[in-house]
Amino acid sequence: MNRNARRAASRVLMGVWLLGIWLLLWGRIDALTVAGGAVVVAGAYAASRLPAVPLVRRIRPLRVAAVIAEFAWDLLVSSVVIGWHALYRPRQVRSGIIDVDMRSRSELILLGVTTSISLRPGTILIDLDPDRTVLRIHAMPVRSRAEADSRRAGVATTEERLMRAFVTWEDAPPEEDDR
């Protein structure tokens, strides 16, 4: 697949996605809403010149499901942890500012990791270095350096899971790249 074909494919995918949201918004599917949605999506494309989404090289559906399941579980567990700290001695809770090195060079993986960090209780992204290779996060609760290290390892695991689910062009081995 050459570059133009990939770009066109990602445009079509994005269009279908936007159309899906449009249909959800109306809450019904009939000829009129589909046709109207197609017009609106085409118009939105023309007006905003939406950039072509960088296509991933390969998606592994089972791994994506695993990512989502593990994320949902993390979300629940860490919510309970934060909730417990809110009830029991909240004044004594301690946190840490931790730098995490990114392995991936892909913007998509970066987006996935930062979203996952900021969505789960206990970690927020607060800064990003100019080269976008180091994430600075605020984590809570962090009582010791060992806990800070385990938080760092947790982010690295998230990145690793995402990289296994989405094989991106940036991270693919160069010999397989046919750009």
Partner 1 sequence: MSVGDVITAVLLPVGAAFSALGALGALRFPDLHSRLHAATKPQTIGLLLILGGVAPQAGTVSAAAPLLLVGFFQLLTAPVTAQTVAGAAYRAGVVDHATLTVDESRREGEDGPWFANRSGEHRPE
In the Cβ-directed half-sphere of 40, how many Cα atoms lie within 13 Å?
15
Token pair 């809110």 in the structure block, residue: 86
Name the residue nearer to partner 1 (CB basis): 23 or 52: 23
For position 110 contacting partner 1 by CB under 8 A, the verdict is no
For position 126 contacting partner 1 by CB under 8 A, the verdict is yes
Structure tokens at 45: 């494309």
Give me the least distance between CB of 108 and partner 1, in Å please: 15
Give me the least distance between CB of 97 and partner 1, in Å please: 5
For position 87 contacting partner 1 by CB under 8 A, the verdict is yes
For position 121 contacting partner 1 by CB under 8 A, the verdict is yes
Reduced to 3 states, what is the DSSP secondary structure of residue 30? coil
- The Cα–Cα gap between 140 and 6 comes to 41
Interface stretch with partner 1, choices 49-57, 125-133, 157-165, 169-177 (CB under 8 A): 125-133
Interface stretch with partner 1, choices 6-14, 34-42, 48-56, 133-141 (CB under 8 A): 133-141
Interface stretch with partner 1, choices 45-53, 142-150, 162-170, 171-179 (CB under 8 A): 142-150
In sign, the C-alpha dihedral spanning 175, 132, 161, 149 is: positive
- Count of CB atoms within 10 A of residue 84's CB? 12
The site string for partner 1 over 15-54 (x = CB under 8 A, - otherwise) reads: ------x-xxx-xxx-------------------------
For position 125 contacting partner 1 by CB under 8 A, the verdict is yes
Spatial CA neighbour of 62 closest among 179, 147, 130, 164: 164
Spatial CA neighbour of 23 closest among 68, 150, 31, 104: 31
In sign, the C-alpha dihedral spanning 106, 107, 112, 115 is: positive
Chain positions contacting partner 1, by CB under 8 A = 21, 23-25, 27-29, 75-76, 78-79, 82-83, 85-87, 90-91, 93-99, 114-115, 117-130, 132, 136, 138, 140, 142-145, 148
